[in-house]
Amino acid sequence: MHQLTLAEIARGLADKKFSSEELTRALLARIHQLDPQINSFISVTDELAISQARAADARRAAGESGALLGAPIGHKDLFCTQGIRTSCASKMLDNFKAPYDATVVSKLAEAGTVTLGKTNMDEFAMGSANESSYYGPVKNPWNFEHVPGGSSGGSAAAVAARLLPAATATDTGGSIRQPAALTSLTGLKPTYGRVSRWGMIAYASSLDQAGPLARTAEDCALLLQGMAGFDAKDSTSIDEPVPDYSASLNASLEGLRIGLPKEYFGAGLDPRIADLVQASVKELEKLGAVVKEISLPNMQHAIPAYYVIAPAEASSNLSRFDGVRFGYRCENPVDLTDLYKRSRGEGFGAEVQRRIMVGAYALSAGYYDAYYLQAQKIRRLIKNDFMAAFNDVDVILGPTTPNLAWKIGAKNNDPVAEYLEDVYTITANLAGLPGLSMPAGFVDSLPVGVQLLAPYFHEGRLLNVAHRYQQVTDWHTRAPNGF
Ligand code: GLN
């Protein structure tokens, strides 16, 4: 049963082959048996899951239908879940039970999903390896010595290990697409504003966006359908109708114009990954797509701009964790300053503290113009590059990551080496564009992903291209050994 995709589960439930409660119990047993090796969950919510599964079965018995009714999923542990620990993988929030559900969580619950648990992640979503979690690193099910990517490494590892058919995740600079690539999954970062950020613990508010992680594009379409839509509680949510993402999955790719940015294939890219990306292009050409070289000339400035903007926003967002209202509080503070200092010093991990310091520095009087303002200008140039490129092409294709999943610990002494892994993903966040990563093969038994980018609100086009590709390839059907 654990090999079923969301789409297959929907059919099985509709045909009464099994109930949601049976499926939920089977997956919970699998999580308890297998997850100790992977560490992909921070909390497993058995009781909630069983009660939601029973409720979904009752709704079906009463005649309701729906692709997500009774579907088991997991939520990244930065989505607030009422009455359930919402830790953001930080000691700071280890004791925090959210008083309400995030909009994504409540929308999916209304659609009938069953929450099996909260998944592990990098602390406050800062990282590309899932090594900065207070609850310990997540292991890649394809090879336990390697990282699963981050920051949504727990969601990715759980889905790759077939503990769950799909999970929610968030992407500030690549945290859905990069772990998808490193664990052989399909992951979609929607257009900024497509999915409500209300109840998502903020990292960098102008970049954060929630989306689905699943094995297939078809499943991402189902999960995105349940997540997307206007929310008056999020002032950056966009009031645009949500298209039927499943309806366009099979559209023809005849004449689809694919742009290959020459900057994506330069120095720094593992040539074995480049070969697999080119092979995926050949498949899409066979389906009728036409390929064109394009240029995104400001891409080289993306990492420095992102690593000013994201920490700047983080330093502001994380100022609320002060030991006063919620979260960790140090023992026996002597005065208010001591309370702030020690609560934050003891509650936040090293990477989070580094980002807060970098961000506060970049925003301080005297440096604001030199760093933050410059970074914002680069951001606009990057957006302009994309706008120019999308005059000539329908999608942009390239590698999701420059390298394979690295060994746990390999980059621990060099944060910048880890930042460089985000080179292909962060531009979409800076511009607010939708992006998808899909499985495209293996090198040394480790997965490789291909990234597709599209104009604003063309998530359906990304899912369509990935779905057609997945009908002529089988990378997405392969499971790691033992899972
Ligand atoms: N690796 C990037 C960072 O650490 C992106 C993380 C994310 O998308 N949440 O900022």
Strand partners, 481: none
Q: 175, 184, 196, 237: which one is catalytic? A: 175
Cβ-based neighbour number of residue 8 at 10 Å: 16
The pLDDT of 226-237, averaged and rounded, is: 98
401 CA → ligand 1 middle, Å: 13
Residue from 88, 122, 132, 306 whose mutation best tests the ligand 1 pocket (most atoms within 8 A of CB): 122
pLDDT above 70 covers what percent of the chain?
A: 100
Phi, psi of 287 (to 5 degrees): -85, 0
Q: How confident is the model at residue 9 (pLDDT cuts 50, 70, 90)?
A: very high
Question: pLDDT per residue over 334-388, tens digit each?
Answer: 999 999 999 999 999 999 999 999 999 999 988 999 999 999 999 999 999 999 9
CB neighbours of 387 closer than 8 A, spacing ≥ 6?
none
Question: pLDDT per residue over 173-184, tens digit each?
Answer: 999 999 999 999
Positive or negative: CA dihedral 118, 124, 126, 130 = negative
End-to-end C-alpha distance for the chain, whole angstroms: 12
107 assigned to active site: no
The pLDDT of 221-240, averaged and rounded, is: 98
Q: Assess contact for 222 and 67: CB atoms under 8 A.
A: yes
Structure tokens at 395: 């999608």
40 assigned to active site: no
Q: Which of 437, 426, 364, 432 is nearest to 399 (CA)?
A: 437
Q: What is the mean pLDDT of the chain?
A: 97
Q: Assess contact for 80 and 93: CB atoms under 8 A.
A: no
Q: Where are the domains of the chain?
A: 6-255+457-477
How far is the C-alpha of 348 from the C-alpha of 371, rounded, in Å? Answer: 25
Q: Assess contact for 237 and 206: CB atoms under 8 A.
A: no
Positive or negative: CA dihedral 405, 426, 185, 80 = positive
303 CA → ligand 1 middle, Å: 11
Q: Which of 272, 347, 360 is nearest to 315 (CA)?
A: 360
> What is the residue with the minimal CA distance to atom 10 of ligand 1?
126
Q: Assess contact for 114 and 47: CB atoms under 8 A.
A: no
**Atom nearest to 422 CA in ligand 1:** 1
Q: Which of 33, 57, 55 is nearest to 44 (CA)?
A: 33
Q: In the prediction, which pLDDT does 99 show?
A: 96
DSSP 299: G
The pLDDT of 151-176, averaged and rounded, is: 98
Cβ-based neighbour number of residue 148 at 10 Å: 37
The pLDDT of 59-63, averaged and rounded, is: 97
Q: Assess contact for 253 and 285: CB atoms under 8 A.
A: no
103 CA → ligand 1 middle, Å: 22
Q: In the prediction, which pLDDT does 365 show?
A: 87
Question: pLDDT per residue over 111-147, tens digit each?
Answer: 999 999 999 999 999 999 999 999 999 999 999 999 9
- For the CA atoms of 93, 141, 272, 428, the dihedral, rounded to the nearest 10 degrees, stands at -30
233 assigned to active site: no
Q: How confident is the model at residue 170 (pLDDT cuts 50, 70, 90)?
A: very high
Query: Between vectors from CA 449 to CA 414 and to CA 253, what angle results, nearest 5°?
Result: 150
Q: Assess contact for 49 and 41: CB atoms under 8 A.
A: no
State pTM to two decimals. Answer: 0.98
DSSP 107: H
Strand partners, 81: 84
- For the CA atoms of 256, 262, 263, 265, the dihedral, rounded to the nearest 10 degrees, stands at 90
**CATH homologous superfamily of domain 6-255+457-477?**
Amidase signature (AS) domain (3.90.1300.10)
* Burial degree of 187 (CB within 10 A; 0-12, 13-18, 19+): buried
Verify cis geometry, omega within 30 degrees of 0, for the bond prior to 184. no
CB neighbours of 21 closer than 8 A, spacing ≥ 6?
50, 53, 54, 57
The pLDDT of 78-102, averaged and rounded, is: 98
The helix/strand/coil state of 170 is strand
Q: 40, 132, 151, 437: which one is catalytic? A: 151
Q: In the prediction, which pLDDT does 267 show?
A: 87
Question: pLDDT per residue over 394-416, tens digit each?
Answer: 999 999 999 999 999 999 889 99
Q: Which residues line ligand 1 (CB under 6 A)?
A: 125-128, 151, 171-175, 203, 310, 422
Beta strands 257-261 and 395-399: pairing type? parallel
Question: pLDDT per residue over 281-297, tens digit each?
Answer: 999 999 999 999 999 99
202 CA → ligand 1 middle, Å: 12
Instruction: Give me the sheet containing 290-294, strands edge to edge.
Output: 41-44, 114-119, 72-76, 166-170, 210-214, 186-189, 435-443, 446-453, 395-399, 257-261, 290-294
